[in-house]
Amino acid sequence: MIIFPAIDIKGGKCVRLFKGNFNKITKYHKTPLDQAREFFSLGFKNIHIVDLDGALKKSPVNKDIIKEVCKINQIKIQVGGGVRSLDHIKKLIDFGVDKVILGTAAIENFKFLQESCDKFNKKIALSIDVRNGYIALAGWKKQTNILATDFIKKVQNINLSRIIYTDIDRDGTKLGPNIEQTVNFSILSEVPTLVSGGISSIEDVINIKKKNYKNIEGIIIGKAIYDNNINIKELCKIN
């Protein structure tokens, strides 16, 4: 079970959104680079980064910050937000990014997802952001009528590294993850799945780890860390 502390970047700062709402944003004092260094110094080797500015502008924006984070020795980061082309992917991988997360572009253009996975074998993670079972795109502002459970059937034969399943209505709420829906989704594919959205406590993490769900590879945790609902040192021991 891999624990991914999360860093969302907007305007060069660490932020968290409430249910994906850009009007309900909390800013934090540490820079994304300092936060990444702290996570790494505590023992976390994997970090989840989202370029929120990139998601809104449809092109990576905070590239310089991401490049600097990649310089931290032995760190593995997965990065998403505004990745819309093979060139975007290549640049991030050249920085040293371990996995590049595709979301909107992959859902709207399945051929692009296939080409990305073919060219960058096992380097592509797919972000499935869900509201009431249906996929949302473009920084969660564009709601589709595509069921996540239908879309997942299309990705069986491409070289995805992992899927990030986010329940938007839990994200940033600290109400606990929608583990039932996530697990039901994960068993529809052989691709490892990450739980994202709503983690509120150490108990949430321990309960997921104890269950040892077959296809759940890890957990992404954001707001509960930043608001000190989770003791980061205790969390690292579980990792």
CB 2 within 8 A of CB 218: yes
CB 68 within 8 A of CB 33: yes
Give catalytic residue positions. Answer: 8, 129
Burial of 30 (0-12, 13-18, 19+ CB in 10 A): middle
- Tell me which residue of 112, 148, 114, 145 sits closest to 129, measured CA to CA: 148
Residue 85 has pLDDT above 80, yes or no: yes
Specify the pTM: 0.93
Residue 204 pLDDT: 93
pLDDT in tens, 120-168: 999 999 999 999 999 998 777 788 999 999 999 889 889 999 999 999 8
Helix (H) or strand (E) holding 130: strand 124-131
- Confidence class for position 105, pLDDT limits 50, 70, 90: very high
- Confidence class for position 237, pLDDT limits 50, 70, 90: confident
DSSP 28: -
Instruction: Report the C-alpha gap between 176 and 81 in whole angstroms.
Output: 24
Most confident of 54-63, 95-104, 150-159: 95-104
Instruction: Report the C-alpha gap between 48 and 61 in whole angstroms.
Output: 16
3-state secondary structure at position 200: coil
pLDDT in tens, 25-40: 889 889 999 999 999 9
Tell which CATH classification among 3.20.20.70, 3.30.160.70, 3.30.460.80, 3.10.180.10 matches the domain 2-238.
Answer: 3.20.20.70
Residue 101 pLDDT: 97
pLDDT in tens, 61-75: 999 999 999 999 999
